[in-house]
Amino acid sequence: MTDSRIQLTEEDITGIQADAIVNAANNSLLGGGGVDGAIHRVAGPELLAQCRTLGGCPTGEARITKGYNLPAAWVIHTVGPVWRGGTQREPELLARCYRNCFSLVREHGLRSVAFPAISTGVYGYPKEEAARIAIQEARRALAENENLARVLFVCFNSDTRLAYEKALTEP
C-alpha cells in the first residue's frame, strides 16, 4: 500500500527544505565523504563544532544537531552498518537507524524528514534490501506518529530510485 506522505525525490539532500535531514555518518560523527561530506560542507564549521561535543555515535543509533547553514533546521546523524554479507545483524542495525531517527523526529515534534539511502554508498548495503527496510520503518513511524506529515527519500541516482519504487509496490 502506498502512503502519500512517503515521497521520493532525486536531488541533493543538502538543498531539501524539511524540518530535518538525516546524515549517513560514521561512528566518530566528525565528517567523511559521500552525503556526510556534502552535509558538513553546506552546514558549515559550526556543525562540526557541535558534533565534536557529542562523543561519537554507535552503529544503529542517532543523534540530533542544528542544521546551521542548511535549509533544514535540524540534522539527524545516524550510523548505518557496513555490509558484511548480511550475517552480522546488518538488517536489524539498519532498521534501528531508521527507528532511532523517527524517535528523534517524534521527540522534537518535527513534521517532515528527509533520508538518504543509509549504508548504500561506501558501506555497501544492497540497495533493494535497504530500500525495503527504509519503507517498512517509514510506514511504521507514520502509523504511530500522527504529527508526521512527510517522509522524503532522497535518491541520489536512478538505481536507488528504482529500489524505492519497487519497495513501495510491496505490501
- Report, as residue numbers or ranges, the catalytic residues: 36
Give the total of residues touching ligand AR6 (CB under 6 A). 25
Shortest Å, Cβ 166 to ligand AR6: 15
User: Are residues 141 and 108 in contact, defined by beta-carbon separation less than 8 angstroms?
Assistant: no
**By the rule CB under 6 A, 156 interacts with ligand AR6:** yes
DSSP H/E element including 48? helix 45-52
**By the rule CB under 6 A, 24 interacts with ligand AR6:** yes
> Nearest-CA neighbor of 38 among 61, 17, 69?
69
**By the rule CB under 6 A, 121 interacts with ligand AR6:** yes
CA atoms of 118 and 16, how far apart (whole Å): 16
> Nearest-CA neighbor of 91 among 57, 119, 122?
119
Closest to ligand AR6 by CB, 50 or 145: 50
CA atoms of 104 and 100, how far apart (whole Å): 6
**By the rule CB under 6 A, 65 interacts with ligand AR6:** no
Binding footprint of ligand AR6 on the chain (CB under 6 A): 12-14, 24-26, 32-36, 38, 80, 116-123, 154, 156-157, 160
